[in-house]
Amino acid sequence: MNWRNKVRMALACLLGTFFLLALASELVAPYSYARQFRDLPLAAPSAAHPLGTDALGRDVFSRVLYGSRVSLLLAPAAALLATVIAGVSGALAGLRGGWWEKTILASADLMMALPLLFVLLALRATLPLDVAPLLSAAATFALLGLLGWPASLRVVWAATRNIRESEFLTLARAQGIGPVRMVLRHVLPNVRPVLQAQFWVTIPVFILAEATLSMLGLGVMEPLPSWGNLLRGLEDLSALRANPGLLSPLVLLILVVRGLQMLLPPREELAS
């Protein structure tokens, strides 16, 4: 095992541990994410509250753990959904060309032209109000996944076009393989690095989109934390001065996203 693989293994262990901690947040977190210590609003980090407290006196460490569970489970799930939609339809468009290509790209353009936030606002307005917070969070990420694929689609389509005239696809066509099988067996494995990159890139985008949606009442509802609504704490600079621990969700987001990117096979490996 070379040093690069060792680093990747160590990173994988670290992220895995963190993932497990987040999953077991109910056991690990010292307090409930909703409990308010009203005598200690914006308390600096201490033994009782390792990352301090927020403006309502809630333990930031506990909220980060619970919030990680929501974001680390739901953002990748939404990113996976978006990548699958983008992968299949992008590959089909790139492979078939003609009317298939025009129709799929036009629908992607249409989706990109739609003001996503307003679409989500309209959808949220039609949902019932008495939805459990976790279900509301899941619905939010599902909507993000269902609406967030067009940008990835264009990348996959461009990658597929590059291999459309390749020998192995010509041979597959000559053998009479159908388009669906060709996409699943021949195209997608060959654009896998592109799909992986799109997947990892989309995760932080969706986490931040969820933060924006939370501000519009579409994201994860209080008091359930997510990285998105925890990041809203950064709006208040005076609060940050009082408790720098409020920066922890941002630090965590950067670490996890960077860690996930480092776990990807290096460029030369992908090229080979």
Contacting positions for other proteins (CB under 8 A): 34-36, 38, 41, 55-57, 121, 124-125, 129-133, 215-217, 221-223, 232, 235-236, 238
Both tokens of residue 166?
């390749």
Q: What is the dihedral of CA 212, 149, 110, 205, to 10 degrees?
A: 20
Cβ-in-10-Å burial (0-12, 13-18, 19+) of 192 comes to: middle
Residue 137 CB, nearest approach to other proteins (Å): 13
- Under 8 Å between Cβ of 213 and 147: no
For other proteins, give the closer residue by CB, 38 or 267: 38
Instruction: Identify the burial level of 108 via C-beta atoms within 10 angstroms of its C-beta, where 0-12 means exposed, 13-18 middle and 19 or more buried.
Output: buried
Q: How far apart are the first and last CA of the chain?
A: 19
Minimum distance from residue 110 beta carbon to other proteins (Å): 24
Please say which residue, 36 or 107, places its beta carbon nearer to other proteins. 36
Q: Which is nearer to other proteins, 1 or 125 (CB)?
A: 125
Residue 119 C-beta: closest distance to other proteins, Å: 13
User: Which CB, 7 or 216, lies closer to other proteins?
Assistant: 216
- Least separation in angstroms between residue 237's CB and other proteins is 9
Neighbours of 81 (CB within 10 A): 19
Output 58 or 186, the one with its CB closest to other proteins. Answer: 58
In degrees rounded to 5, what are phi and psi of residue 53?
Answer: -130, 165
* Shortest distance (Å) from residue 226 CB to other proteins: 14
